[in-house]
Amino acid sequence: MMFRIGVDVGGTYTDLVATDEAGRTVFAKSPSTPADQSIGVMAGLDELARRLNVTRAAMLAATDRLVHGTTVATNALLERKGAKVALLTTAGHRDVIEMREGLKPDRYDLRSPPPEPLVPRERRFGVRERLKADGEVLIPLDPGSLDDAIAGIEKSGATSVAVCFLHSYLDPVHELAAVARLAQALPGVSISRSSDVLPQIKEYERVSTTIVNACVEPVVRRYLTNLETRLGEAGFRGSLFVVLSHGGMAPVEEAARLAAGTVLSGPAGGMSGGRRCAELVGIPDLVPFDMGGTSTDISLISGGQASLSADGMLAGQRIALRSLDIASIAAGGGSIASVDAGRTLRVGPESAGAVPGPACYGNGGQAATVTDANVVLGYLDAAAFMGGRRPLDRAAAEAAIDRVADAMSLSRIEAAAGICRMINLNMADGIRLMTLRRGVDPRKFALLSFGGAAGLHAAEVARELEIRRIIVPTVASVLSAWGMLTSDLRYEVSRTHYGAGARITAGEVRGLFSQLEQQAAGRLRSWFKGPIAIERSAEMRYGEQIFEIDVSLDGLDWNAADLVDRIEHHFHARHEELYTYASPGQEVVFVNARVAAVGKVPRLDSDMKPAPSSQACVPRGRRQAFLGGWRELPVYALDDLRPGQTLAGPAIIEAETTTVLVDAGDRVTVNALGWLDIELR
């Protein structure tokens, strides 16, 4: 027997999924251990083995691949517990990260002080050197000023150094020389070089991304090395891969090198899962909707594909590596309801988090949260929460909701229903903005509901967006870990083209891409023996614009004489799709070439196909819930439902870690996989 294992470490739980060649899939959940995530991972593997009825050593010995989503980099950034970083940059340009291109959020808040940059000014060192915009050396790297800077870095106590010079994306000569000298002088420090991390024009993006990389690299490397050792000691002989923010996976060494590319490691697994769901249910246009305790992650799968974006921002830091386009909204089960001085109800962005958590958790939380509202409305069964392992305190929920109700002179039920209404609006807005940005109409999408809190809110969110269909997979609670098992290996490279105002030629295009292809495929080949596919894209803009759009160049005839015309044609078409118009007469500027080498990993057919049934569904019980008025609703257990069965709302469907609310008039069909396919009225 050969296993593949997916492990997704979240804020609260570590989710694990194992599949074998026969398609058997087993899940396990285990508490996360934030101080050292590998402890929770090893404990989770114990639990997984128990569910497989084998020893952990036997399971690991029979595992050829373990795919891991980690939040180590994310947490290091959010909690500012990364390395102490110094910046080595072009003299006269030390303040790029602190200038933030002149932007500040919250236009009417003029009394909040500016945020502390990740690298304070005294650890930002200028070196005398300069390239020009065409890559020519204007000022050669001055060894004296470099040595002064290195002495300053040593004195500062920095343990990691970001090296980023102006225009280094055209020629890394000065960065390489500086790195060599630095490595020689300070052998103990980690080094992140901008021409390696993100060799692209735009200094704010490049310097910020390189600094983030320098900040998290030592932490990620330490963690992954440690995990690899523990796994080895426990008998694992297969390959450990880490899911990167772009949705592909890479071996440990590569994930550590480009540690800034792991900040969306976990959610990226969710996207892989979403894409797999789209395939399995045959719906190419899906909105993955992952609502948890403190936040909701939303994204789009359009035409079966998840799109990538380089607009990333995390914990106030700009990370311009390409990553899956996932928007995180501060809305979840723990979102706190409050009434402002104008007696307007607000829900979020503050969250009660896991500690103290919603009032109904009984951990001393006083604030009224979305989960408390769900208890008051009868949607959540206080006694059966988390399979009865963690019963909820209904009285505490009622008391918390009453405080909101009193402040607005409303009844308890009105307040609770209002809280749900507001949180649903928040999430629908997030989805609407996301679809608007991508130039697509949400009405033709189906909502893919997963994450613990999604099932109670999916129907209302969908209705708000005029979405007519919701899919709830049985793997909903561990979708990210499950999705990781379907990730491919991926290595991305990019390069900026400088054209001095002249149009790029077909020869230049071919030369640029063939170099990048060799580089990407060569690197991937060192980890992977299977067939390699190449994806090409370009970032282009109209002459007068300042931001570029990413245009896929797959399917082009690279030998065509009019190659550049064809590329520009793709650009105009994509521009029109995104922004409603194209300007075919206008100058088009080719900015960055991108190549991804993808190693397709054969998939195990990991999907259970439960036996169908033609019997009517039988509820396990009934309970009172509020749907505009109190009604007694049938309560079904998800585990009892069989393919082919149907049921009509209003109803509640419960699983161990999630509850689904079906409105009156909505119809549920259990599909061949045992998943819920809900058609809204």
CB of 433 to other proteins, least distance (A): 6
Structure tokens at 107: 């236009």
How far apart (Å, rounded) are the C-alpha atoms in residues 3 and 17? 10
648, 65 contact by CB (below 8 A): no
Phi and psi (nearest 5°) for 271?
A: -70, -40
> In this structure, what is the dihedral angle of CA atoms 257, 258, 260, 262, given to the nearest 10 degrees?
-100
Q: Which of residues 106-125 bind other proteins (CB under 8 A)?
A: 106-114, 120-122
Distance between CA 675 and CA 33 in Å, rounded?
31
Residue choice 172, 312, 378, 418 for contact with other proteins (CB under 8 A): 418
DSSP class of residue 91 equals: T
Does residue 531 touch other proteins according to CB under 8 A? no
CA-to-CA distance for 642 and 644, rounded, in angstroms?
A: 6
Which of residues 47 and 576 has its CB atom nearest to other proteins in the complex? 576
In angstroms, what CA-CA distances link 337 with 291, 297, 406, 407, 417?
17, 20, 13, 11, 12
Concatenated DSSP letters of 445-510: -EEEEESTTGGGTHHHHHHHTT--EEEE-TTGGGHHHHHHTTPPEEEEEEEE---TTSPPPHHHHH
Residue choice 500, 561, 611, 616 for contact with other proteins (CB under 8 A)? 500
User: Which residue from 202, 276, 457, 490 is in contact with other proteins, where contact means CB under 8 A?
Assistant: 202
Choose which of 211, 422, 651, 660 interacts with other proteins (CB under 8 A). Answer: 422
- Interface with other proteins includes 318 (CB under 8 A)? no
- CB count within 10 Å of CB 277 equals 25
**Residue number with CB closer to other proteins (342 or 531):** 342
Q: Which of 2, 313, 433, 573 binds other proteins (CB under 8 A)?
A: 433
Please give the residues from 544 up to 573 whose contact with other proteins meets the rule CB under 8 A: 544-547
389 binds other proteins (CB under 8 A): no
157 binds other proteins (CB under 8 A): no
Output the smallest distance, CB 368 to other proteins, in A: 14
The answer to whether residues 223 and 74 touch, using CB atoms and an 8 Å cutoff, is no
By beta-carbon proximity to other proteins, the closer residue of 436 and 618 is 436
- State the minimum distance, in angstroms, from the CB of residue 195 to other proteins: 13
Compute how many other C-beta atoms are within 10 angstroms of the C-beta atom of residue 320: 23
DSSP 369: B
Under the binding rule (CB under 8 A), the answer on residue 313 touching other proteins is no
Q: Work out how close the CB of 581 gets to other proteins at its nearest, in angstroms, rounded to a whole number.
A: 7
Which residues in the 596-625 window bind other proteins by CB under 8 A?
Answer: none
Tell whether residue 80 is a contact of other proteins (CB under 8 A): no
**Using the rule CB under 8 A, which residue among 436, 560, 608, 664 binds other proteins?**
436
Does the protein bind other proteins through residue 421 (CB under 8 A)? yes
Cβ–Cβ contacts within 10 Å for residue 227, how many? 25
Q: Which CB, 207 or 516, lies closer to other proteins?
A: 207
Which residues lie closer than 8 Å to 388 by C-beta, 6 or more apart?
none
| Single-letter residue type at 583 | S
630 belongs to the binding site for other proteins (CB under 8 A)? no
Closer by beta carbon to other proteins, 224 or else 400: 400
Site for other proteins in 6-25 (CB under 8 A): none
Segment interacting with other proteins, rule: CB under 8 A, options 174-182, 286-294, 339-347, 649-657: 339-347
Binding to other proteins (CB under 8 A) within 573-592 occurs at 578-581, 583, 586
Segment interacting with other proteins, rule: CB under 8 A, options 5-13, 74-82, 200-208, 522-530: 200-208
Residue type for 15, please? D
494 beta partners: 594
Kindly determine how many residues on this chain lie close enough to bind other proteins according to the rule CB under 8 A: 72
User: Using CB under 8 A, which of the segments 8-16, 268-276, 407-415, 665-673 binds other proteins?
Assistant: 407-415
Stretch binding other proteins (CB under 8 A), from 47-55, 103-111, 142-150, 622-630: 103-111
**Residue found under tokens 């521009």:** 575
Using DSSP, state whether 599 is helix, strand or coil: strand
Q: Quick one: 39 or 345, whose CB is closer to other proteins?
A: 345
Which amino acid is it at 383?
A
Distances (CA, A) of 210 to 215, 396, 563: 9, 47, 34
Which residues are 16's β-sheet partners?
7, 28
Calculate the alpha carbon distances from 117 to 121, 290, 510, 547 in Å.
8, 31, 40, 24
101 lines the binding site for other proteins (CB under 8 A): yes
Of 154 and 414, the one with the shorter C-beta distance to other proteins is: 414
Q: Is 167 left (phi over 0), alpha (psi -120 to 50) or beta?
A: left
Q: Does 204 bind other proteins (CB under 8 A)?
A: yes
**Could you give the 3-state DSSP secondary structure of residue 315?**
coil
Any contact of residue 167 with other proteins (CB under 8 A)? Answer: yes
